[in-house]
Amino acid sequence: MKELAKTYDPKGLEDRLYKKWEENGYFHAEVDRSKKPFTIVMPPPNITGQLHMGHALDNTMQDILIRYKRMQGYSALWQPGTDHAAIATEVKVIEHLKKQGIEKDSLGREGFLEKCWDWKDEYGTRIINQLKKMGSSADWERERFTMDEGCSKAVEEVFVKLFNEGYIYKGNRIINWCPVCQTSISDAEVEHEEQAGHFWHMKYEIVGEPGRFVTFATTRPETMLGDTAVAVNPKDERYQDIIGKTVMLPFVNREIPVVADEYVDMEFGTGVVKITPAHDPNDFEVGKRHNLPVINVLNDDATINSNGGEFEGMDRYEAREIIVKKMDEMGLLVKIEDHTHNVGTHDRCNTTVEPMVKPQWFVAMEELAKPAIEAIKTGELQFVPKNYDKTYLHWLENIRDWCISRQLWWGHRIPAYYCEKCGETVVARSADAPTVCPKCGHTHMKQDEDTLDTWFSSALWPFSTLGWPENTEELDYFYPTDVLVTGYDIIFFWVIRMVFSGYAHTGKSPFHTVLIHGLVRDSQGRKMSKSLGNGIDPLEIIDNYGADALRLTLITGNAPGNDMRFYNERVENSRNFANKVWNASRFIMMNLADNAVTEPTEADLATEDKWIISAVNTLAKDVTENMDKYELGIAVQKVYDFIWDQFCDWYIEIVKPRMYSQEYTASKNAALWTAKFALTNALKMLHPFMPFITEEIFCTLQSEEKTIMLSAWPEYDEAKNFPVEEAKVERAKDVVRGMRQLRTDMDVPPSKKAAIHIVAEDAEVRGIFDEITPIFATLAGATDVIVQADKLGIGSDAVSAVIPDATLFVPLEDLVDFEKEKERLTKEKEKLEKELARSRGMLSNEKFMSKAPEAKVAEEREKLAKYEQMMAQVEARLASMK
């Protein structure tokens, strides 16, 4: 038999084993009609990405599920790939070029795109290589990219299809606009952060009623230049007489109406709201209901445009300051209140985004959302945990049309073509790009400059990666996929878009289960971020502790949907567990060496053998149930407890005398076979969580097996269930625990041996203790074990410990050197007498009692009570020794 290295060194084996797995194609999944398929699509990391703890957790969970299903005999496909990440990549490339003194515009579109592809080639595989360091067993032979030929074809197909069906249109609607990146951005790219600001209370004069004003509050005074109404609630008695009248908008001298709309909250502020349809999503909806003009007052760089009159050309914040000052001078500023509120910022450049109405491409969502809503109601789609159903439904039932165009060069270019003469729009696949205008016959057709939102292509990920729109064998076999694993912060932006896209283009939900995990937070519970500087690099953890230790740490205690805190101490505990598994395995292999171990008959199995076989059999049943319910944290905890406690700390210690036997008896053979059986099955159940160490041990232990990855997952076998023997071993454990507690209570070292009297009234119980004496005698440190019905013959000075159905008695002289113990107790008594005198003196001191804080007096009284209790115990022990 091969030997394990003396010490466990993850650095020495992880890279070697991963190379072995890849070279042998163990991750590859084939269409195999004799097997059931199981599919997970990897949320594609950005090509600009660097592995962080969120990636580490997300991919560890996916890898656990895929390894589990692979061992169960499924054709398990974990489909990997990367996302082109339009804005993130464009920002990175622009920064990279600027360092070289190159401006994006100087290269032209094609030249810039060449630089983006160069970036992708150089950095696009970085995060994939980092995922491999984690042990991710994705089918890298099938790796995809959201802008590869197949995915690009799928994107064009969907755009053309949805346009022809009337779901995609171009229109003027309100969108999120980044003034720095100068593009529209999706909700997913807007981070809301609390910022300290102000509420400026201002007033507009009612036209025709000099001296009468309506007062409102705003956090963005500069947008007043684009106001086209003020609104009040139709039920608000205070303002009934002004509905339908007009107020004068300062600076631009425009009369704007007072409209009545349910949107206004009568209880908030003054009950009056300024309406700026071009710069607020809610105002935009109010404007549509009342046919209000839409007046944009901002340029793309967030300076004031010509609609802003005297403020034209000013930065938005400069204009804000001057407008407030002038309103004050005009007597129209009522007051200023400090106000902390959520402000939307672009997650790429941290710029405050501006809601703006601009001509963009949109997907009409109302009809497309309906099958996705129905899926969750019928149970065709399920969230784990289930409470995320509400989040999903709330967003879908209140969905707005999706802005899909971006003012970028890197990405899927919108397949729309415009006639430069008559303006006719033609939407077509690139292979069918028009050269002649179908309306006027003009030959100058120009493609739309914009690209599609990155989420447009990633919404197709579950089926575009399998060959759609072609009807491939992979699509037929592996789709719909099974489980999507993702964080709760991405439900809206990606999950929902995949679900409605799946129904719209394949008629099916892209997966039946969405497994939601929480965030990995720092030890103080804070979200990891660059600004806090509290991020933890998974690669650094792997370098110090190994990938297995990191994976175990991320999953232990992990419950679906819940955040977790990350401590280095937890990783150290995980590494200690790996060492425990390694050393136990090495010990068993050393004893197996040179012994031709054969499977014993049931008659040859000792009680403890049947106990551990039954325990690992039950473990297989429990862990399988937990895995099927996606309770990965519970599953790994059970495996951990079994290996550390049941197998290492109990079974191995119990059978050591049998293993050490010089003669190769049936008993020794049974102990060795059982140890190997239990270890092998435990390793299999640990493998999805800690793939590297289990592979190394398994392939050393089972030299005829090529890999643990393709070994059969343990299944529960009723024939290996031994409840009677389990109960007997639990009684043996009770004896050992009772003896250990006695030694602890009496401060006696574990090496001190003693005779044990077990008193049990029930004859059947006594018979069991007699039978299991060989199991516990050595571990309990017994020189002799006497099982009896009563206390007859047991000295009055014996100490005792109560266990279920029996009492343990140990002669005091077996545990204690009387002279030394008397000396120790006498010194302890003298020490306590001094403390008692000090404490009683303080509590009888009137000065202390009158001036000391109440808490200090209470603390001293607690000390006195404790010392009195300790003194009573010491005196009782001394009295018993006389």
* Known binding-site residue numbers for ATP: 530
Query: Smallest Cα–Cα separation from 294: which of 226, 231, 247?
Result: 226
CB 736 within 8 Å of CB 779: yes
CB 620 within 8 Å of CB 636: no
Query: Smallest Cα–Cα separation from 183: which of 250, 93, 53, 91?
Result: 91
Query: Smallest Cα–Cα separation from 811: which of 799, 802, 824?
Result: 799
| Strand stretches in 723-779, DSSP E | 754-759
Q: Which residues are part of a known binding site?
A: 530
Rounded-to-integer distance, Cα 224 and Cα 275, Å = 8
Rounded-to-integer distance, Cα 545 and Cα 59, Å = 18
Tell me the three-class secondary structure of 794-862, residue by residue.
CCCCCEEEEECCEEEEECHHHHCCHHHHHHHHHHHHHHHHHHHHHHHHHHCCHHHHHHCCHHHHHHHHH
Considering only CA atoms, give the Rg of the chain. 37
Which one-letter amino acid corresponds to residue 848?
F
What CA dihedral angle connects 285, 240, 255 and 218, to 10 degrees? -60
Which residues, at least 6 apart from 554, have a Cβ–Cβ distance to it below 8 Å? 53, 56, 57, 60, 520, 564
Rounded-to-integer distance, Cα 651 and Cα 659, Å = 12
Query: Smallest Cα–Cα separation from 312: which of 250, 227, 252?
Result: 252
Structure tokens at 582: 């390694």
Q: What is the DSSP letter of 42?
A: P
The single residue listed with the structure tokens 């905890």 is: 637
Packing angle of the helix pair 104-123, 86-99 (nearest 10 deg): 110
Which residues, at least 6 apart from 419, have a Cβ–Cβ distance to it below 8 Å? 426, 437, 439, 440, 442, 444, 445
50: left (phi over 0), alpha (psi -120 to 50) or beta: beta
Q: Is 313 helix (H, G, I), strand (E, B) or coil?
A: coil
> How many C-beta neighbours within 10 Å does residue 809 have?
21
> How many C-beta neighbours within 10 Å does residue 105 have?
9
Query: Smallest Cα–Cα separation from 715: which of 646, 624, 639, 631?
Result: 624
The helix or strand, by DSSP H or E, that contains position 518, with its residue range, turns out to be none
Rounded-to-integer distance, Cα 877 and Cα 882, Å = 9
How far is residue 293 from each of residues 184, 228, 259, 289, measured CA to CA in Å?
22, 6, 13, 11
CB 548 within 8 Å of CB 696: no
CB 794 within 8 Å of CB 753: no
CB 418 within 8 Å of CB 445: yes
Structure tokens at 562: 């819940």
Pairing, β 144-145 against β 81-82 = parallel
Rounded-to-integer distance, Cα 177 and Cα 186, Å = 9
CB 277 within 8 Å of CB 227: no
Query: Smallest Cα–Cα separation from 303: which of 290, 318, 292?
Result: 318
Rounded-to-integer distance, Cα 611 and Cα 635, Å = 21
Structure tokens at 591: 């004893």
